[in-house]
């Protein structure tokens, strides 16, 4: 029972692993960094699904499942091995599904046209709210983003 609780605790941690897609969000490493920026206009936008998986859920589930399976495998070595293998398989599947469900989000795909005529596609979260026809600034960096621009 204790092993099952450890597995559930590990999987619940994954629910906090959702990446912030917002154009308003910066990582600590980005503070003070200089990014290249260009003016652009939004020519289209649409909602998209962002599926986040890092395989951490499957790996965590496999380890937890192996531990729990080994504990309930019985006294025989064959039973323990079967429990470990079966637990790892089940844990991996459950962990992968839990991670995918916890990290899926809705994003917005923006197509923007720069002053030079180049078309760029950027996916980010729905905040800040940006509409078709809006003037924006495209920020290049570790994670590209667009932000509203008022002249």
> Residue 79: inside a domain, yes or no?
yes
Report the pLDDT value the prediction gives residue 135, as an integer from 0 to 100: 97
Q: Which range marks the domain in which residue 98 is found?
A: 1-20+52-103
> Residue 29: inside a domain, yes or no?
no
Report the pLDDT value the prediction gives residue 93, as an integer from 0 to 100: 66
Report the pLDDT value the prediction gives residue 48, as an integer from 0 to 100: 92
6 and 76, same domain (yes or no): yes
Longest dimension (CA), the chain: 75
CB of 145 within 8 A of CB of 122? yes
- Residues of the chain with pLDDT below 70 are 1-32, 52-62, 64-66, 69-71, 73-74, 80, 82, 84, 92-103
65 and 1, same domain (yes or no): yes
CA-CA distance, 52 to 102, in Å (whole number)? 8
- Measured in degrees and rounded to the nearest 5, phi and psi for residue 120 equal -125, 145
Report the pLDDT value the prediction gives residue 111, as an integer from 0 to 100: 97
> Residue 147: inside a domain, yes or no?
yes
Number of domains, the chain: 2
CA-CA distance, 126 to 120, in Å (whole number)? 18
């Amino acid at each position: 029972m204790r092993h099952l609780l450890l597995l559930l605790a590990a999987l619940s941690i994954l629910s906090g692993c959702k990446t912030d897609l917002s154009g308003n969000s910066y990582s600590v490493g980005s503070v003070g960094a200089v990014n290249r920026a260009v003016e652009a206009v939004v020519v289209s936008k649409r909602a998209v699904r962002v599926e986040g998986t890092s395989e951490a859920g499957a790996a965590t589930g496999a380890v937890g499942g192996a531990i729990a399976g080994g504990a309930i495998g019985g006294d025989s070595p064959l039973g323990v091995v079967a429990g470990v293998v079966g637990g790892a398989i089940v844990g991996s599947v459950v962990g992968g599904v839990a991670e995918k469900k916890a990290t899926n989000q809705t994003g917005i795909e923006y197509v923007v046209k720069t002053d030079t005529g180049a078309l760029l596609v950027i996916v980010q979260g729905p905040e800040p709210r940006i509409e078709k026809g809006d003037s924006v600034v495209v920020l290049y960096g570790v994670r590209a983003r667009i932000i509203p621009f008022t002249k």
